[in-house]
Amino acid sequence: MNVDPDLLRSRLGDRRARTAMVLGSGLGGLVDVLDEPVRIAYGDLPGFPQSGVSGHSGELVWGLLNGVPVIVLSGRIHYYEAGDAAAMRPALEALKAVGVEILVLTNAAGSLKPELAPGSVMLIDDHINFSGRNPLIGEPSDARFTGMTEAYDAALRRHMREAAAAEGLTLSGGVYMWFSGPSFETPAEIRMARLLGADAVGMSTVPETILARFLGLRVVAASVLTNYGAGMTGAELSHQETKDMAPKGGAVLARILAAAVPRF
Ligand code: HPA
């Protein structure tokens, strides 16, 4: 079911935004730093995908981030919730229909690099989709042959790095590898991911990036690393750990994003 763009437009009134953001698990705190927020529950936007994952709320919030109008999607639906890689398509199409041009994707992820400790933030330079799934499967138009050479926009990534530097923070880049979840990876899968060149693993973002590029949106994305990949420390992984650790890196990411959006 598609979202009616007129309904979203009428709920937003004359508020518009060039930039939209999708918040990952436990990163909802970004909404609290928006000025003049207007909150719309996904339930009031028929067709908007509702996530059943704890740590994800379900609302669209318009507001000013460091003086810049943005639309924040607090809560996303994941492939693993219903086996639909295109689950976020109606939401992204609705954003595009109300004038969004830039999509900022955030997520919680497992770190594959010893120097990227839990609580740190990684800018996504590129991704690996080794899942065999793609949200454009079944799309009939030739636009399905979407180029992914610069999936993560080079200029937006530069703005993120410069914004971080201006905040006195270093922001290293890396490769994010998508696993379907919802079970975490095995230690053997994590060793494979490292061999293939991944720096972080997670259960979201990649299908959204593909959809966004298909729709002609520019994408920039960042991971908050909540744990080391399975087998790297011997500790068992849990969603509770993700929710507990995400706010720490989330606060750093919120600072970087606030400094970055005026540069976009
Ligand atoms: N793997 C996949 N997704 C995740 C992880 C992980 O280790 N941590 C947070 N999200």
Question: What are the phi and psi torsion angles at 69 (to 5°)?
Answer: -65, 130
pLDDT given for residue 3 in this prediction: 84
Q: Band the pLDDT of 55: cuts 50, 70, 90.
A: low
Query: How many angstroms is it from 201 CA to the middle of ligand 1?
Result: 6
For residue 113 the two structure tokens come to 């690099």
29 — pLDDT class (breaks 50, 70, 90): confident
Annotated binding-site residue numbers for a purine D-ribonucleoside: 185, 227
* The pLDDT value given to residue 50: 80
Give the Cα separation of 8 and 53 in Å (integer).
Answer: 24
Confidence of residue 65 (pLDDT cuts 50, 70, 90): very high
Domain 5-263 sits in CATH 3.40.50.1580? yes
Per-residue pLDDT at 115 exceeds 70:
yes
Q: Can you give the pLDDT at residue 134?
A: 98
More confident residue, 46 or 1: 46
Is 30 or 195 the better-scoring residue by pLDDT? Answer: 195
Find the mean pLDDT for residues 166-177.
96
State if residue 109 touches ligand 1 by the CB under 6 angstroms criterion. Answer: yes
Residue 209 CB–ligand 1 contact under 6 Å? no
Query: What pLDDT is recorded for position 240?
Result: 83
Atom number, ligand 1, closest to the C-alpha of residue 107: 10
d(CA 93, CA 135): 13
Q: Which of 23, 134, 132 is nearest to 87 (CA)?
A: 134
Domain boundaries, the chain: 5-263
Of ligand 1's atoms, which has the minimum distance to the CA of residue 179? 2
**Does the pLDDT at position 47 exceed 90?**
no
* pLDDT(217) > 80: yes
Is pLDDT of 56 > 80?
Answer: no
Q: Which of 49-53, 103-107, 207-211 has the lowest mean pLDDT?
A: 49-53
223 pocket-lining for ligand 1 (C-beta < 6 Å):
no
Task: Quote the pLDDT of residue 25.
Answer: 77
Report the share of the chain in percent with pLDDT over 70: 98
pLDDT at 186 over 90: yes
Q: Check pocket membership of 59 for ligand 1, CB cut-off 6 A.
A: no
- Return the ligand 1 atom nearest residue 228 CA: 7
Mean per-residue pLDDT of the chain? 94
Residue type at 175 in one-letter notation: V
pLDDT of residue 222: 97
- pLDDT tens digit string along 78-110? 999 989 999 999 999 999 999 999 999 999 999
At 236, is the pLDDT very low, low, confident or very high (cuts 50, 70, 90)? confident
